[in-house]
Amino acid sequence: MPFRLKLIYILCCLVDAAAYILYKDELSFLSALPVLCLLFFYYAQRKGQYKLRDYTYSIGLGLAAVADIILELRSTTAKILALVMYMLSYSFYIATVRKEAVFGSSTKELLKIIANMVLLISPVLIVFSDIPSDYFFASMIYMVFLALLYITALLRKTNKSSYQWFLSGALSFAILTICEVYFSFIIKIPYGSILIKAIYSFAQYATFMGVARIYKSFYPSISK
């Protein structure tokens, strides 16, 4: 991604964080600004060349933006609804790169997948007694989609740069989910929400780069 676009994205993230701090008790649509920024970048670069993959990724970003706005309500019910939207978003991210995910039949690869899924879900299971039951069950369903996203990223057979970025995005979403659960119900840290926003912004950016680098002509300077 050109440096000027990186600066624009960082600026959008800073505006989102500032709006959260200054208008903490008010509904703000600025929370969706970073994701909408990525959606605009993607559309502007692929305009006139849209294929099925482009539509699936764009819809995924759109659903993520809706989830970001819902989260601004800051209630348990809103969090559950947002989880549903993020699940749908992840399903479209998976559809974007699914043709490049190749599952091998070796025992070693199967054990690797199982181990990664256990590591992904166990932090939430450990503290299940401290989480409201409705949120816990919603988060478990959400974790299934997150695990599928991570496995899809792990099994991708594509150029190394795209693979690394997309896998980084999936890992960041996993870290984000664990932080959200712990910061909401287990421990409280100053500016925990800002840290979560930072991780989320990077996760979306890394996923964007993972998709963008599939195309050799997306940003010529980064496709090498």
The confidence band for 219, taking pLDDT boundaries of 50, 70 and 90, is low
Tell whether the model's pLDDT for residue 97 goes beyond 80. Answer: yes
DSSP string, 182-214: HHHHT---TTHHHHHHHHHHHHHHHHHHHHHTT
pLDDT in tens, 6-18: 999 999 999 999 9
Tell whether the model's pLDDT for residue 214 goes beyond 60. Answer: yes
Tell whether the model's pLDDT for residue 104 goes beyond 80. Answer: no
Using CA atoms of 167, 203, 138, 76 in order, give the dihedral in degrees to the nearest 10.
170
Residue 120: which of 140, 93, 95, 90 has the closest Cα? 140
Tell whether the model's pLDDT for residue 199 goes beyond 90. Answer: yes
Pure H helices in the chain: 3-22, 33-46, 52-71, 76-97, 107-126, 133-154, 160-185, 192-212
Q: What is the mean pLDDT of the chain?
A: 86
CA atoms of 167 and 156, how far apart (whole Å): 9
CA atoms of 192 and 31, how far apart (whole Å): 16
pLDDT in tens, 65-95: 999 999 888 788 888 899 999 999 999 999 9
pLDDT in tens, 142-184: 888 898 898 888 888 777 888 899 999 999 999 998 998 898 8
Residue 203 pLDDT: 96
The confidence band for 42, taking pLDDT boundaries of 50, 70 and 90, is very high
Name residue, tokens 């809706």.
66
Q: What percent of the chain has pLDDT over 70?
A: 95
Task: Indicate the SS3 state at residue 156.
Answer: strand
Q: How far apart are the first and last CA of the chain?
A: 12
In one letter, which amino acid is 158? T
pLDDT in tens, 128-141: 888 888 888 888 88
Residue 74 pLDDT: 76
Specify the number of domains making up the chain. Answer: 1
Largest CA distance in the chain: 53
CA atoms of 63 and 93, how far apart (whole Å): 11
Across 33-62, average pLDDT: 91
Q: Which range of residues forms the domain containing residue 133? A: 3-222
pTM, two decimal places: 0.88
